[in-house]
Amino acid sequence: MRSLTVLGSCGAWPEPGRACAGFLIEYDGFRVVLDLGYAALPQLLAHRPHAEVDAVVVTHQHPDHCVDVSALARVRHYEAPDAPPIPLHCPPGVVDVLRALEPNPDPATVFAVHDLATTTRLGPFTVETVALPHYVTNLGIRLTAPGVSLAYTGDSGPSDDHAKLADGTDLFIADATLQGPSPQTAPRYVMTATEAGRAARGSQRLLLTHFWPGSDRSISVAEAQAEFDGEVIAATEGLTLAL
């Protein structure tokens, strides 16, 4: 099985019945989570009742992308105390957030922590990362394995480096926090749906995510379609895409 399941699609905070950033990737039995923000853990448990994952990747330390990693630590600590630590690939600030949330169990005992910036391999995947503009260190990531290539921006402002992630991929996952014209401010740390469409050029499919709560997602899709010739999909909790 080779698939991506949306665990959360909201930015900032979750709408009722939804969750913040989170994706579950399954590739021939290897399971990796990309981000795990507010309310994303229950979504993961709906698919993996005992949180059976082989690795976790967190793009940056904002809670709408990482807070439920703390909840995942509790599941593993209490339900599988003898299991080996889960590899956690993230910027250094993420562990500080997790430790502040819950120092016992210490995140470094439940997880085997690795600096995402230096990660080159993740199970069957070759890993490439690129620093993208945000309020804190945010790493866009590209995962490549035989027959599959996908990329994820995390949470990013407009950047020429998006092309490095998107080019030649089967699926480009891009934050589309805003709608309408691009704000005329600098620096920029979040994208519009139009900018997400431009960023995805070079990929086959675009999955829009990180919608501001209350947004009409059909508007975001239409704005991205004006800039991107491939398929544009709005992330929604429980959606599974074949890879």
pLDDT at 141: 98
118 falls in which pLDDT band (50, 70, 90)?
very high
179 falls in which pLDDT band (50, 70, 90)?
very high
pLDDT at 111: 98
- Structure confidence by residue, pLDDT tens digits, 70-117: 999 999 999 999 999 999 999 999 999 999 999 999 999 999 999 999
**Which residues make Cβ contacts (< 8 Å) with residue 214, sequence separation at least 6?**
15
Q: Which residue has the tokens 């009722």?
A: 16
Mean residue pLDDT across the chain:
97
| 130: its two tokens | 């690129």
CA distance 103 to 176: 33
pLDDT at 6: 99
- Structure confidence by residue, pLDDT tens digits, 120-163: 999 999 999 999 999 999 999 999 999 999 999 999 999 999 99
**Which residues make Cβ contacts (< 8 Å) with residue 125, sequence separation at least 6?**
27, 30, 32, 143, 144, 145
pLDDT at 110: 97
Bridge partners (DSSP) listed for residue 141: 129, 152
**Which residues make Cβ contacts (< 8 Å) with residue 124, sequence separation at least 6?**
27, 28, 30, 145, 146
**Which residues make Cβ contacts (< 8 Å) with residue 90, sequence separation at least 6?**
56, 57, 58, 59, 61, 66, 113, 114, 115, 116
CA distance 212 to 179: 9
- Structure confidence by residue, pLDDT tens digits, 189-212: 999 999 999 999 999 999 999 999
Q: Where are the beta strands (DSSP E) in the chain?
A: 2-8, 22-27, 30-36, 55-57, 86-90, 111-115, 121-122, 125-132, 138-145, 148-152, 171-175, 205-209, 231-234, 240-242
pLDDT at 138: 98
pLDDT at 79: 93
Residue 107 CA from chain centroid, whole number:
20
CA distance 161 to 199: 9
45 falls in which pLDDT band (50, 70, 90)?
very high
Report the predicted TM-score, pTM, of the whole model to 2 decimal places: 0.97
pLDDT at 237: 98
pLDDT at 209: 98
DSSP string covering 14-46: PPTT--BSEEEEEETTEEEEEEE-TTHHHHHHH
